[in-house]
Amino acid sequence: MYDFTLVKPKNLADAVAAIADGAQALSGGQTLLPTMKQRLADPGTLVSLSGIPELHGVCKGDGGIIIGGATPHAVVAREAAKYYPALAALANQIGDPAVRNRGTIGGSIANNDPSACYPAAALGSGAIIQTNTREIAADDYFRGMFETALHEGEIVTGVKFPVPQKAAYIKFVQPASRFALVGAFVAQFADGVRVAITGASNNGVFRWAEAEAALSANFAPKALMGLTLPADDMISDLHGTAEYRAHLCGVMVKRAVMAA
Amino acid sequence: MPKDGGIGASTKRREDIRFLTGKGRYTDDINLRGQAYAYFLRSEVAHGRINHIDTKTAAAMPGVLTILTGDDFVAMGGNPAGWLIHSRNGDPMKEPKRPVLAHGKVRHVGDAYAVVIAETYQQARDAAACIDADITDLPAVVDMARALSDSTNLVHDEIGTNQCFDWGWIEDNRAAVDAAFATAPHITTLQLINNRLTPNAMEPRASLGDFDPGTGDYKLYTTSQNPHLHRLLIAAFVMGMPENKLTVIAPDVGGGFGSKIYHYGEEAAVLQAAKLLNRPVKWVAERSESFLSDAHGRDHVTKIELATTKDGEFLALRTETMANVGAYLSNFSTATPTFLHGTVMAGPYKTPLIYVNVKTVFTNTAPVDAYRGAGRPEATYSLERVIDKCARELGIDQAEIRRKNLLTPDQFPYQTPVGLVYDTGNYQATLDKLTDIADLAGFEARRATSAKNGKLRGLGLSTWVEACGIAPSNLVGVLGARVGLFDAATVRVNATGNISVMTGAHSHGQGHETVFAQIVADRLGIPAESVDIVHGDTSKIPFGMGSYGSRSLSVAGSAMTKAVDKIIAKGKKIAAHMLEASENDIEFKDGSFSVAGTDKAKTFGEIAFSAYVPHNYPLETLEPGLEETAFYDPANFTYPAGAYACEVELDPDTGHVTIASFACADDFGNVMNPMIVNGQVHGGVGQGIGQALLENTTYDENGQLLTGSFMDYAMPRASDVPYYTVDHSCNTPCTHNPLGAKGCGEAGAIGSPPAVVNAVIDALHRAGHSHVTHIDMPVSPARVWAAMNQA
């Protein structure tokens, strides 16, 4: 690890100001710190978001729940359970207890790892990503592997989740990292079903339109019969070919429908 | 009734208290005054020519004390291979020099070519980033078949080939084996890969070199499984110094699995730097360095053929293997694919004709050497997989084909066609025991239950035998070993009756401090608490060969037993003097020396005290003191054997395999501590399950390591392994060592991988996927799914 300076602002305004000077925001650090330890990142100054009260917590708002950007997964698992059980269950399956106690929803959404779980929940729920300057619909936010609509210096302050009638997230884990090899988030709302898939695509989390249409007409596993995704843009690596991932998408969506 | 103490008792491990409370003392816990730190600069390319290494800028960086490169070690010797193998045509193997630091070329990603010594580790690392190395990329040699066929691109230019040797075992059997195949009623052929593994000991390698300018003595603290072997290799072969000028200390060591048997260049480098700087120099590997530079295991590509009658009687066996040795010959790398592999190809069966061919291949990958089981897992996997395939082809039950061909108890001692003599065994008994403890009769009912849950259930068996207690110097000498493989112990009885036992074995997690104390205490009839085990320090222990190859108990434990017997004999002499009786009339029992037929007796403590307060000894005939050393070199290997059953559940939608149950019926000979033996079996089977389902060290075609961290290298976790059913009640004690012990350290890793893979194939066959005859390890979900869906 290279030497760095740690700044711990007490409020969002100070954090925004510090980051505007070119410093790197640090939330749970579950990706950033290992990268720094390997000397693959040298941010100079880190601005910790963990000591800012307004970025913490789970609360009920109009038509949904709002989770502060610096809220750790373990807190979401515990406190979101009564409002949005599928989201809480997803949070409870991320990493291991150490990761869940440090890693945050804002950090995960800002990083947009193509195999992370939270992007599937946000996109599958039609969430609104709140930042220090604006609100962004999930459909506009995720822009591909490790890419988002965030501008330089913009901080994810919270994520607003509409709560569906039914939802579930099922993931098939990569055996080493236990990130999602393929994870499917299925959510049934009054006006239709959303299906978001993580882990599979070279373009990061995505919605499966054909599955959404079929499930909106009939929210049952058999509605998915005959539906397949092309393998063209799927990730192919040590742990699974593109064809295998494309196949798993169908299996995971089906299982999510059964679990919802 | 279970015993409370002594041999056969499940005594709790005394060393665990310090390990579990953070009081262990590992190499990195040792800090010497004035200590500096080393950082090794490692190649980022698999193969490259070193044109120039400019260290000028780096040397001027803050805190830098010195920078050494390959040029600084040219005068030193190479790190040698410990075993000389001859090719079928009689030529000796090719032995390119393995320098302390890469010189002329870098030959694998992670090959260290410079070391920076600085006041702090961070300073050393900062400076290393400023070393300007001019290295010309060369095409990487990765695939073994291509390495053998392409003589234009060589890992070691000076030897003119990428082949180290082409070995036939036994060459004289070849014609008869081929003739048997020519007329065999049935031949089963299987092509398979024994996947490359990274050992991943919990404690990474670490070394701390120290030099005393007053005496000219060197001291090395290092993560070693065999400190005397390290001392021999470093002093006599690499650095060229008298052995008595070097002390090697391997303090607490956090796992080795083979990877810490070997001497690595970092050890010589920190010693040399310590001398140059007149300061202690420490290096501790980061986990990524372990992935890149620890000796890996396995990595065989094999074609195996089994000739049988129509009813499954084995007639002949033939194998052709390419074994990867990586970029340099590590110390045991030439023995592992040969004498630890070819010699056990008979397994527990009476196959009359066997021929094994192994070509070892240099590639631009990390060195490959012995890893838990070492050669025997590769042989067992090939054999147990081809038998499984043969049984399916012939329509014979898996247990039945094995039972039909197992050696019977009346055939021991048994001379195999591949050079070994099995002294004892009862393979029917372990298979019968397995049938019982694994409830093989209930399998169909369990399968039906799994099917109701949408899962495919399969049953896999493996019956195996291994050769371990790696020793007989006579035998290994004939086979090409350049070292002896005895072991030694000194039993020092102190004046107050407590005992220090210095052993040549080295514990890096096995529980020696507990078990050896049990053995010594049992034999002397004293409490185990009175016995301390000392290991790992060449200045304290007799010259022993360390721990690997399941040898600690059968070889070092036997040496200890012999030394204890000498203590008893000496004690009798002292007792005879004290009791004014004839030595022949002294009996020793339960810690007491007595005159036969009388009530005259002296306790062990009284004898010990007298030995060091010899006020009225007849000094011409009775020496003071009570300390004895024994060396033990056995007559043969030991031959643990067993029968394993694995049941898997397979998810047909994803290809994911879950181990539903795993049962082991083992014959380890006499068992000293059943709890520790169970633990060894659990750990070994866990590693075997890791190999079978998860682990796979993978290089891409450019020689870049794709599995360089735990993000991509899948280690088995607790949830990947089942509750094991373990039995070792069917024991046939070893006939040639005083403990009757055979060794249990590697068994689980040897016997388990084929049981797992056989179970997966079984599950697929029972579900109608009869076109799937084999899936290479690791049997990952993606591979299972691909196999199920192949045309």
**Tens digit of pLDDT for each residue in A16-49?**
999 988 899 999 999 999 999 999 999 999 999 9
Mean of pLDDT values over B354-371: 98
Across the interface, of B654, B696, B780, the residue whose CB is closest to A251 is: B654
Residue of A nearest to B720 (CA): A175
Q: Do residues B271 and B220 lie in contact, with contact meaning Cβ atoms separated by under 8 Å?
A: yes
Pick from B70, B702, B49: nearest CA to B364: B702
Token pair listed for B705: 């390591």
- Does B785 contact A38 at a Cβ distance shorter than 8 Å? no
A240 near A181, Cβ under 8 Å? yes
Give the side-chain half-sphere CA count within 13 A for B425.
Answer: 32
Report the b/e string of B702-734 with b at 16+ CB within 10 A: ebebebbeeebbbebeeebbbebebbbebbbbb
Q: Does A4 touch chain B (CB under 8 A)?
A: no
3-state secondary structure of B491: strand
Q: With contacts defined as CB-CB under 8 Å, which chain B residues touch A228?
A: none
| Least Cα separation, residue A61 to chain B (angstroms) | 38
Q: Identify the pLDDT of residue B478.
A: 86
CATH 3.30.365.10, domain B300-471+636-788, yes or no: yes
Please give the single-letter amino acid code of residue B663: A
Residue B35 burial (C-beta neighbours within 10 Å; 0-12, 13-18, 19+)? middle
B652 reaches A (C-beta below 8 A): no
B590 touches chain A (CB under 8 A): no
When the pLDDT of each residue in chain B is averaged and rounded to a whole number, the result is 97
- Alpha-carbon distance of B570 to B593, in angstroms, equals 11
Q: What is the pLDDT of residue B3?
A: 75
CB contact under 8 A, A39 and B654: no
Task: Write the pLDDT tens digit of every residue in B433-446.
Answer: 999 999 999 999 99
Name which residue leads in pLDDT, B478 or B10. B10
- pLDDT per residue over B16-61, tens digit each? 999 999 999 999 999 999 999 999 999 999 999 999 999 999 999 9
d(CA B610, CA B581): 16
Encoding tokens for residue B279? 């300061």
Whether ipTM exceeds 0.90: yes
Angle between the N-to-C axes of helices B398-405 and B376-394, in degrees from 0 to 180, rounded to the nearest 10: 110
The pLDDT tens digits for B622-653 are 999 999 999 999 999 999 999 999 999 999 99
Q: List pLDDT tens digits, range B607-622.
A: 999 999 999 999 999 9
Average pLDDT over residues B115-144: 98
Chain A residues in contact with B653 by the CB 8 A cut-off are 251
Instruction: State whether residue A177 sits within 8 Å of chain B by CB.
Output: yes
CATH superfamily ID and name for A166-259: CO dehydrogenase flavoprotein, C-terminal domain (3.30.390.50)
Contacting residues of B for A247, CB less than 8 Å apart: 785
Give the up-direction half-sphere exposure of residue B514: CA atoms within 13 A in the CB hemisphere: 22
Task: Please tell me which of the candidates A3, A39, A251 has its beta carbon nearest to residue B653.
Answer: A251
Q: Is B579 exposed, middle or buried (0-12, 13-18, 19+ CB in 10 A)?
A: middle
Using a CB-CB cut-off of 8 Å, the residues of chain B touching A244 are 655, 781-782, 785-786
- B454-490 residue pLDDT tens: 999 999 999 999 999 887 898 888 888 998 999 999 9
Distance from CA of A178 to the nearest CA of B (A): 8
**Helix ranges, B170-327 (H):** 174-183, 227-232, 265-277, 287-293
Q: Which residues of B touch A172 (CB under 8 A)?
A: 654, 656, 781
A172 touches B: beta carbon within 8 Å: yes
Which single residue is written with the structure tokens 């150490």? A98
pLDDT (0 to 100) of residue B450: 98
Q: How many CB atoms lie within 10 A of CB B103?
A: 16
Are B782 and A241 in contact (CB < 8 Å)? yes
- Closest CA relative to residue B100, chosen from B288, B211, B264: B264
Closest CA to B593 of B574, B613, B621: B574
Rounded Cα distance, B505 and B528, in Å = 19
The domain spans of chain A are 1-49, 166-259
For the segment B99-111, what is each residue's pLDDT rounded down to a tens digit? 999 999 999 999 9
pLDDT of residue A128: 98
Whole-angstrom distance, CA of residue B548 vs CA of residue A20:
58
Mean pLDDT to the nearest integer, A137-157: 97
Distance between CA atoms of residues B374 and B352, nearest Å:
24
Going across the sheet that includes B36-42, the strands are B64-69, B112-118, B36-42, B281-284, B206-212, B217-222, B246-249
- Nearest CB among A39, A172, A176 relative to B714 is that of A176
H or E segment at A123? helix A118-125
pLDDT-derived band at B532 (thresholds 50, 70, 90) equals: very high
Instruction: Please check whether residue A248 touches B, CB under 8 A.
Output: yes
Distance of CA B784 to the CA centre of its chain: 30
Answer whether residue B791 shows pLDDT above 70. Answer: no
Token pair of A104, please?
Answer: 């945050």
Record: fold of B486-632:
Aldehyde Oxidoreductase; domain 4 (3.30.365)
Judged by a CB distance cut-off of 8 A, whether residue A251 touches chain B is yes
Give how far A67 is from chain B: nearest CA, Å. 28
Which tokens go with B733? 């004690």
Q: What is the 3-state secondary structure (H, E, C) of B100-152?
A: CCCCCEECCCCCEEEEEEECCHHHHHHHHCCCEEEEEECCCCCCHHHHHHCCC
The answer, for A244 touching chain B at a CB cutoff of 8 Å, is yes
Tell me how far apart the alpha carbons of residues B459 and B461 are, in angstroms, rounded to a whole number: 7
Structure tokens, A150: 């965030």
pLDDT at residue B351, as a whole number: 98
* AA identity, residue A210: E
Q: How many CB atoms lie within 10 A of CB B80?
A: 18
Using one digit for the tens of pLDDT, what is the confidence trace for A83-100? 999 999 999 999 999 999
Record: contact A38-B710, CB cut-off 8 A: no
B1 pLDDT higher than 60 = no
| Domain residue ranges in chain B | 31-138+209-255+260-280, 300-471+636-788, 486-632
Using the beta-carbon criterion (under 8 Å), do A176 and B715 form an inter-chain contact? Answer: yes
Is B718's Cβ below 8 Å from some Cβ in A?
Answer: no
CB B462 within 8 A of CB B380: yes
Model confidence band, residue B278 (pLDDT cutoffs 50, 70, 90)? very high
User: Is-cis flag, bond preceding B170, omega within 30?
Assistant: yes
Query: A-contacting residues of B 115-144, CB under 8 Å?
Result: 122, 125
Annotate B532-580 with DSSP letters as a single string: EEE-SBTTTS-S---S-TT-IIIIIIHHHHHHHHHHHHHHHHHHHHHHT
Strand A45-48 relative to strand A24-26, pairing: parallel
Segment A127-142, tens digit of pLDDT: 999 999 999 999 999 9
pLDDT tops 90 at residue B210? yes
Whether residues A176 and B710 touch (CB distance < 8 A) is answered with yes
Interface A–B counts its CB contacts (< 8 A) at 44
Predicted confidence (pLDDT) per residue in B589-598, tens digit:
999 999 999 9
CA-to-CA separations, B713 to B374, B488, B606, B709, B752, in angstroms, rounded: 20, 39, 58, 6, 20
Cβ neighbours of A26 (radius 10 Å): 21
Of the candidates A186, A184, A204, A169, which has an alpha carbon nearest to the alpha carbon of residue A251?
Answer: A184
Mean pLDDT on B351-360: 98
Chain A nearest C-alpha distance from B713 (Å): 6
Q: Which helix (H) or strand (E) holds B164?
A: strand B163-169
Put simply, the answer to whether A239 touches B656 (Cβ < 8 Å) is no
CA distance B454 to chain A (A): 13
Question: In A, which residues are within 8 Å of B781 by CB distance?
Answer: 172, 240, 244
Place of tokens 């579900």: B767
Q: Is A241 on the interface with B (CB under 8 A)?
A: yes
- Specify the CATH superfamily of domain B31-138+209-255+260-280: Aldehyde oxidase/xanthine dehydrogenase, a/b hammerhead (3.90.1170.50)
Which whole number is the average pLDDT over A218-241? 96
Q: Is the pTM of this model over 0.80?
A: yes
Short-list B488, B469, B470, B590, CA closest to B534: B488
Q: What is the pLDDT of residue B516?
A: 98
| pLDDT at position B233 | 97
Dist CA B715 CA B722 (whole Å): 15
Q: How far is CA B775 from CA A244, B145, B450, B551, B696, in A?
A: 16, 20, 22, 33, 14
**Residue A155: CB atoms within 10 Å:** 23
Q: Does domain A1-49 have CATH number 3.30.70.2740?
A: no
CA distance, residue B787 to nearest chain A CA (Å): 11
Banded model confidence at residue B390, pLDDT cuts 50, 70, 90 = very high
Peptide bond into B348 cis (omega under 30): no
DSSP lists the bridge partners of residue A59 as A66
B715·A251 Cβ contact <8 A: no
